[in-house]
Amino acid sequence: MTAHAIPINGIRSQTDGELIVSAIAGRSDGFEELVRRYQRPITGYVFRMLGNYESSLDVTQEVFIKVYNSLTKYSNEYKFSTWLYRIAHNAAIDHMRRNSMQTQSIEVENADGTFQLQIESRDPSPEVEHERGEWRNEIDAVVKCLPAAYRDLIILRHSKDLSYDEIAEITSLPLGTVKNRLFRAREMMRELFIDRGFTGI
């Protein structure tokens, strides 16, 4: 029971693996630190997937409860973050299926494995100089327009900076599909930008 001697700033410097071990041993501050580390990235990811702040908080809670209940099943052949994103990915997709009235269908895949735009982007804006902040808004809007299967990969790659291997692990997709969909997703984004009157992309 030497674990009790660890001071507060000690827990901050522990690895995810050490925190998991102490959480399984029944120490709630181990789990709390894990939540503190990952709540923002997970909420951010879920929020981008669902586009609704309240639901993304609910789903994030659901994700961490699931994590807590299956900590003993975690095997360290994956990174903890990969495992966590995988649970979050499944929870977000489940949520979208349950509320498919509000969001676009995530199932419509063409015969050649591509997806179609289901939300029309808004009218082309006049060609103006765009500030950085405006760029961010534009990109947010375009990401929102993407089919969920593409949006997922774009967020995991460009917002979470994950490797193709990790993305394949999280989404249970073959590596080739990840590569292919990311390519198509970027093509679609560029087309959307051109539709909105941005050239030079």
Return the residue of 3, 32, 194, 197 that touches other proteins, per CB under 8 A. Answer: 32
Query: Is 135 an interacting residue with respect to other proteins (CB under 8 A)?
Result: yes
| C-alpha atoms less than 13 angstroms from C-alpha of 166 in its C-beta half-sphere | 17
Q: Given the rule CB under 8 A, which of 1-9, 38-46, 91-99, 101-109 is the region that contacts other proteins?
A: 38-46
Return the residue of 27, 186, 191, 195 that touches other proteins, per CB under 8 A. Answer: 186
Q: Which residues pair with 109 in a beta bridge?
A: 115
CA distance 194 to 179: 23
Backbone angle region of 167, left / alpha / beta, with phi > 0 → left and psi within -120 to 50 → alpha: alpha
Nearer to other proteins by C-beta: 63 or 96? 63
Shortest CB 32 distance to other proteins, Å: 5
End-to-end alpha carbon distance in the chain: 59
Query: Is 174 an interacting residue with respect to other proteins (CB under 8 A)?
Result: no
Q: Which are the contacts of 24, defined by CB distance < 8 A and separation ≥ 6? A: 71, 72
Query: Is 69 an interacting residue with respect to other proteins (CB under 8 A)?
Result: yes
Residue 185: phi, psi to the nearest 5? -60, -40
Residues at the site binding other proteins, with contacts judged by CB under 8 A: 24, 26, 28, 31-32, 35-36, 39-41, 43-44, 47-48, 57, 60-61, 64-65, 67-73, 132, 135-136, 139-140, 143, 154-155, 157-159, 161, 163-164, 179-180, 182-183, 186, 189-190, 200-201
